Amino acid sequence: MLEFINDSMEERYALAMDRIEGILQEQTVPAPFDSYFKSVAQFLMQMKRVREQLISGAAENFSLEEWQKINRKMYQDILPEHYTLSFGNPDYATAVLGEIHGKILSFLYTELRGIIGYIFEGLLEETVVHLELFIEIYNCFEQEQLPSYKEIQQIIYWFVSDYSDVFVTERIRQSVDPARDFAAGIILDSDLTDLRYLYRFGEYVTESELQTAKFLNSLSEDEIQSMADTYTEGYRIGFVHGGKDLSKKQTVNIRYHLGFERMIRAAIGNFEKLGLKPVIFRYALSTVNKRQAMRIGYTGAVPNMQFDYDHREDCAIYLDKKFVERRLGVMRSAYETFKTLANGHAGPAVVEVFGEKPFTPESKENVYHLSGKQQQLMVSMNNEGAQLVNQYIIGKERSFTIIAFPIPEIGPQFEEIFRETVKINTLDYELYQKIQQTIIDALDAGNRAHIVGCGENRTDLTVMFHPLNDPEKETIFENCVADVNIPVGEVFTSPQLTGTNGVLHVTKVYLNELEYKDLCLTFCDGKVTDYSCGNFDTEEANWEFIQANLLFHHDTLPLGEFAIGTNTTAYAMAKKYDISAKLPILIAEKMGPHFAVGDTCYSWEEDTPVYNPDGKEIIARDNEISLLRKEDPGKAYFGCHTDITIPYEELGLLEVLGENGYHKEIIRNGRFVLAGTEALNKALG
């Protein structure tokens, strides 16, 4: 039966490609649309040739230079230097094709680019249905009268709805099934000294990925193994500290950036000793599976972040209540099909990278935006989707770990910064554990923290703590050492919302790879009531930017976390190499007090007891909103958690206050002043 299906799909593929090849010779579509369809057809014929070379084995004999030429050609149209005149650019597509058809044909162009990944992975059905979508829309433009926007929109609507069972089901299977081993096979079977292996993924490869792989090849086996051990041991300890049984699990999801394969191979070996097989899936290619411009999964270089940003809300074309019901229904069915695999999944192990040139998006006129109703639908769909995931990949039984390394784009001192980062990732956690316990003891004696900025920073915020009933056995703050969250260096809590009031301000911060200038959030009883930034010329544009990319279309978000970062060594490194703007939140959050908007750190696991190394139970795992899960989980979670850090140099005062005039200063003018924390200032000079 499977052979028949494959034969049938190959036949459909051949017919579609023959038809697309004919488009290049035809003159049946009026200008300017003929230029668009011929441009896309040329790209698709290029991918046909690539597939033939992969299947025949000819690609195995390509030189590095030949692979580089092919790789660049696949992505060249959306690279920044070509993007101005690319149909992937909604402004250009609208200027050439008109307001009725420009945006939606730009979406089609973008969706078809996913064929690169499908062809390299051998996902024939995903490839075929996209080819047929292109032909169907092309046929509409062959008619005497141009199709209306509604006609094209309906074709796309039914495409994403009808084929949700293909795209969503495959995405879920890739996330839990180690038999979907395309990436793992490349990592384990390739000669990693032959850098041609990087091109086998089908991802965009730049000099940065090549230089990263070369650098890792220059390290000794001991150095590579040490990096892998830090990464996998953090994952294991996360289960130990969480009181979770790792022996019940069979798989781990590895997410990383191309170039780190040598370390990932060593990590796979470590995970296998823990009884875990790797599941390594690419970031989402289909619009049905995307979440704005975020790349969740393994990835190569991002060809053009503006391109991803421009298409972050293309789902506005088709997002309605029926589609949401359809997608959730497919998710439910897929998880039920793969429920045994899902139950055996242990959670993600993430390797982040940093050093890319900071991205400040350009606001464009002709991009899609979700309507108010669609925003509510998106929030609802994400919430219900998260509940489904938690039902099958049980939250209280899974864990995670995250570690970060620089890439060559960080500058000429890359290798030096890389080695410094390795040191930061392996700092003496016992020393930090002791110092952080001193801070926690001071915090536990109070009932609120007061944070004030200095210089241009306008922060003036009071954060309320949960009450302690039994200080001998309970604590409010978690003593975070290097386990799930590498590197070491923070104490954190889920604040009490009532009484948490004031203004949080940072002059510049990077959140989810986007720069925010003069970001200001106002809190009333722990919820965001007002917000602004200085990215764009108008208040409306700034408001929309925050609403879409920080609040994720929620009307408000609560303060889900308050933390004090203690990793002054990381802060000193950032200042020494002037790379503060390039550090990931994973490290940046350890370099000052930080505040997360969205879910608490314990979302979906609030009822699971958590203990500090001193044996005390961390009781601040809930807030007034997460408690709503007992009545309606849809009201308790937001599906986001974004950390905002005030750097030490912008911090005037962080003090803890309590009953009967209790008062302890922890940080003043960017330096730790609490007795027992003085060692943290050594790195600051």
Contact between 203 and 300 under an 8 Å Cβ cutoff? The reply is yes
Least Cα distance to 646 among 436, 502, 479, 443 occurs for: 502
More confident residue, 610 or 440: 440
Q: How far is CA 290 from CA 89, 131, 375, 618, in A?
A: 18, 20, 15, 35
The pLDDT of residue 1: 40
> What confidence tier does 563 reach under pLDDT thresholds 50, 70, 90?
very high
The pLDDT of residue 482: 62
The DSSP 8-state label assigned to residue 257 in this structure reads B
Task: Give me the count of residues in the chain.
Answer: 685
Least Cα distance to 679 among 361, 427, 365 occurs for: 427
* Helix, strand or coil, per DSSP, at residue 485: strand
Rounded to whole angstroms, the maximal C-alpha distance in the chain is: 85
pLDDT at 685 over 80: no
> What confidence tier does 292 reach under pLDDT thresholds 50, 70, 90?
confident
The pLDDT of residue 481: 76
Query: Which tokens hold the place of 2?
Result: 């499977």
pLDDT at 538 over 80: yes
> What confidence tier does 603 reach under pLDDT thresholds 50, 70, 90?
confident
Buried b (16+ CB within 10 A) or exposed e, 79-115: eeeebeebbbbbbbbbebbeeebbbbbbbbbbbbbbb
> What confidence tier does 5 reach under pLDDT thresholds 50, 70, 90?
low
> What confidence tier does 2 reach under pLDDT thresholds 50, 70, 90?
very low
Q: How far is CA 563 from CA 106, 135, 478, 620, in A?
A: 43, 54, 9, 13
> What confidence tier does 600 reach under pLDDT thresholds 50, 70, 90?
very high
pLDDT at 450 over 80: yes
Contact between 610 and 239 under an 8 Å Cβ cutoff? The reply is no
Contact between 46 and 52 under an 8 Å Cβ cutoff? The reply is no
* Helix, strand or coil, per DSSP, at residue 315: helix
Least Cα distance to 613 among 398, 432, 443 occurs for: 432
pLDDT at 439 over 70: yes
Contact between 156 and 132 under an 8 Å Cβ cutoff? The reply is no
pLDDT at 4 over 50: no
**Residue ranges in 287-413 assigned as alpha helix (H):** 305-310, 321-337, 339-343, 372-392
Q: How far is CA 333 from the centre of its chain?
A: 25
Contact between 593 and 654 under an 8 Å Cβ cutoff? The reply is yes
Q: Which residues pair with 531 in a beta bridge?
A: 521
pLDDT at 3 over 70: no
Taking the alpha carbons of 182, 188, 191, 193 in that order, is the dihedral positive or negative? positive
Give the Cα separation of 237 and 225 in Å (integer): 17
For the segment 281-291, what is each residue's pLDDT rounded down to a tens digit? 999 999 999 98
Query: Which tokens hold the place of 135?
Result: 């032909």
Give the Cα separation of 9 and 124 in Å (integer): 7
Give the Cα separation of 228 and 239 in Å (integer): 17
- Mean of the pLDDT values across residues 438-443? 97
> Worst-scoring range by mean pLDDT, 132-146, 477-491, 509-523, 524-538?
477-491
Helix (H) or strand (E) holding 436: helix 429-444
For the segment 414-425, what is each residue's pLDDT rounded down to a tens digit? 999 999 999 999
Inter-axis angle of helices 124-140 and 102-112, nearest 10: 160
pLDDT at 521 over 80: yes
Q: Is 89 left (phi over 0), alpha (psi -120 to 50) or beta?
A: beta
pLDDT at 569 over 80: yes
Contact between 628 and 609 under an 8 Å Cβ cutoff? The reply is no
Task: Summarize the chain as % helix, strand, coil (round to 5).
Answer: 50, 20, 35
More confident residue, 190 or 430: 190
Tokens 């609507």, residue located:
157
For the segment 625-668, what is each residue's pLDDT rounded down to a tens digit? 999 988 887 788 888 899 999 999 999 999 999 999 999 999 99
- Supply the mean pLDDT for the chain: 94
Contact between 673 and 665 under an 8 Å Cβ cutoff? The reply is yes
Letter for the amino acid at 524? C
Contact between 393 and 176 under an 8 Å Cβ cutoff? The reply is yes
Give the Cα separation of 342 and 397 in Å (integer): 11
Give strand ranges (E) for 10-135: none
